[in-house]
Structure 1
Amino acid sequence: MSTKPKIAISACLMGAEVRYNGGHKESRLCSRILSEHFDFLPLCPEVAIGMGTPREPIRLVGAAEQPRAQGSVDASLDVTRPLAEYGAQMAAQLDGICGYIFMQNSPSCGLERVKVYQANGIPQRNGGRGIYAQAFCAGRPDLPVEEAGRLNDPVLRENFLARVYVYRDWQALLEQGLSRRALTDFHSRCKYLLMAHHPLQYKALGKLLGSMGKSDPALIGPQYFSQLMAALSRCATRGTHSNVLQHLSGYLKQAISSEDKQEMQHIIGQYRHGIVPLVVPMTLLKHHFRLHPDPYIAQQLYLQPHPENLSLRNGI
């Protein structure tokens, strides 16, 4: 698929003046940089349910697990139900998206640690989740989601966008029709990416597919994909990346000289100890595989889970 992946996003992050005070919260990362690679679909649930701009700000009150969204001045203003219903509606309707970027700390859109006020006016200790975000995510549990503020962390940004592209590939697979062969091939392509994020889950998912037998892939597929997306949401570490780099370099042991092997080990060690970013050993590995192609390695998503010009591995 050559088209850009589509990502839903809180409209205020794209510079739309939809916040309660008539302002915006433009994220230059999203609006200027990522917009070159993704088609953004801006949404504002508060505007969508008929709240004007500017408007009385809302806040979460009550129990952190099931808060209500009420006016911060007029407590009789309660928009909990409309926000939840709109979240469920959007989860059912937005079929073409591969991810969602939410505005942090928002009583409608925040994903975590949103302030939830007790009756005495003091916030609960751990906070909660925005009403719209809660309903949307309940309806689309496998969709990659992240808050805009967390995307400033290079590790979290790379993790989220890698999941977006895997999600996009899975949607393409479903469109072509899910067969046992297609499912096995998809898992094979994900092998080293999965090993970098969650080595134990890589083995568990291999067993799941190994026990598929003559089962209908339409039954196994959704279970497999849910577990895959949960596993990929765990961030890879320098240790797990280094382990994968060692595995990949093993495919070159018959092809490259002892000096090249020594250099490869040295660079992987430098990466493991935080001296160089991941792009350095990756570039060296790709160089050797260009000279000594391996058809199995060539299909691995790990080598290029997202477009190179996003430069996501330069900062991790």
Structure 2
Amino acid sequence: MNIHQGNGSAPEPPLRIGVSACLLGQPVRYDGGHKHDRWITGELGRYVEFVPVCPEVEAGLGVPREAMRLVGDPAAPRLVTVNTKRDMTTAMTQCAARRVEELAGEDLCGFIFKNKSPSSGMARVKVYPEEGGMPAHTGVGLFAKAFMERFPLLPVEEEGRLCDARLRENFIERIFVLRAWRDMLDAIPGEDAAGLSRELTRFHARHKLLIMAHSPSHARLMGALAADAKGKAPKELLDAYEKLLLEALGRLATTARNVNVLQHMAGYFRKLATQDERAELAEVIEAYRAGLVPLIVPVTLVKHHVRKHGVEYLAGQVYLNPHPLELKLRNYY
């Protein structure tokens, strides 16, 4: 039996994500340089298609150009050049508004921003006071703000935060699940209510344990929606489910919730595995709970028992393979 491989290879249509162009090595920064992130272009680039964006260049600013920064009210800062004090706020906000509407047609499953950027930083960007003094680290880049307001539930991250193993896994998991969700929607004939109910139930069943690891309360709400799909207006039903799906996965999975999911799966082997096998699995799960082994260890053992004992329900669980194994996203402690 083949355990479900989740999204272990690039799906069709391609998994597309937006990314600050400088992170791809494009020389578009104010000083004519770049901030090439080799994990993004190398490891992640094997599985996704990038849509590069440099809002400053797209706003008509040249390369090289005068550096800019956010100034004034942290809640509504202006974008100002550092030396000549030229106000670029209107040019950037107009460009950002136009670009996010263009990106709405790109079928993006996420976006990776350049951190600290006055145009593209998604959090903790410096905002300088008008008359000197220490900057507040509370700003959001003008393009990033426009993007996140236009797509409030779309997975977004900064390249700096992707150095955190948990945040990296969470982001990658979310973009792969969103691609799978959209693929499911594309496969449903427009007026096929029965097909919609069937495919939604199947999608939820396969993703249930993954969702539980993030938010058990969302999993219950989503299960109720999927179970009562017949008779509901398709658009409202799908919109409600998608909102809950993205909200749930936006919450970081915790060790405690992963343990609950692992123990739930272990229960399927109660009458199938030997006493020694069950004891070994319990010990490995406890070692994960104690921080002695990474999540990949109990997950690998569970996958072994799924194959050995032929548990079809678990074989179809995306939780066991939510992203390509080669990305090594579950190897952290």
Give the TM-score band, short-chain normalised: over 0.9
Distance across 2 between alignment mates of 1:155 and 1:133: 22
CA distance in 1: counterparts of 2:91 and 2:209, whole angstroms = 43
Q: Which has the higher contact order (CA 8 A, sep 6+)?
A: 2
Hey, what's the Cα distance between the residues in 2 that align with 1:262 and 1:50? 64
Q: Which residue is equivalent to 2:39?
A: 29
Q: Deviation above 6 Å: which 4+ runs of structure 1?
A: none
Q: CA deviation at 1:33?
A: 2.0
TM-score (norm 2): 0.89
> After the TM superposition, which of the residue ranges 118-127 and 186-195 deviates more from structure 2?
118-127
Residue of 82, 89, 97 corresponding to 1:88: 97
8 Å CA contact retained: 2:70, 2:126: yes
Identity %: 42
| Unmatched runs of 5 consecutive residues or more in structure 1 | none
Distance in 2 of aligned mates of 1:305 and 1:85:
38
| Contact persistence 1:84–1:134 (CA under 8 A) | no
Deviation at 1:185, TM superposition (A): 2.0
* C-alpha separation in 2, matches of 1:140 and 1:97: 10
Find 1:292's aligned residue among 292, 309, 319: 309
Deviation at 1:141, TM superposition (A): 1.7
Number of aligned residue pairs: 315
Aligned position for 1:7:
17
Aligned-residue offset at 1:210: 4.4
Q: Cα distance, 1:251 vs. partner?
A: 1.0
Is 1:301 the counterpart of 2:310 in the alignment?
A: no
Native 8 Å contact 1:242 1:272 kept in 2: yes
Q: TM-score, length-normalised on structure 1?
A: 0.94
The reply on whether 1:40 has 2:40 as its aligned counterpart is no
Shift of 1:151: 0.7
Pick from 94, 116, 119 the counterpart of residue 127 of structure 2.
116
Superposition map of 1:1-316 within 5 A:
1-2=11-12, 4-75=14-85, 77-94=86-103, 95-123=106-134, 125-177=136-188, 179-210=196-227, 212-316=229-333
More off after superposition, 259-268 vs 166-175: 166-175
- Taking the aligned partners of 1:141 and 1:295, their CA distance within structure 2 comes to 36
Matches of 2:111 and 2:177 in 1, distance apart?
A: 14
Partners of 1:312 and 1:42 in 2: how far apart?
Answer: 24
CA distance in structure 2 between the partners assigned to 1:87 and 1:248 by the alignment: 46
Supply the distance in 2 between the matched residues of 1:93 and 1:171 (Cα, whole angstroms).
Answer: 19
Shift of 1:4: 4.5
Could you list the per-position Cα deviations for residues 241-264 of structure 1 after superposition, in whole angstroms to 9, with x for gaps in the alignment?
Answer: 111100111111111001000000
Cα distance in 1, alignment partners of residues 182 and 67 from structure 2 = 38
Per-residue CA deviations over 1:181-235 (Å, capped at 9, x if unaligned) read: 2222222222111111112221222234445451112112112212211211111
Q: Give the match's secondary structure for 1:251.
A: helix
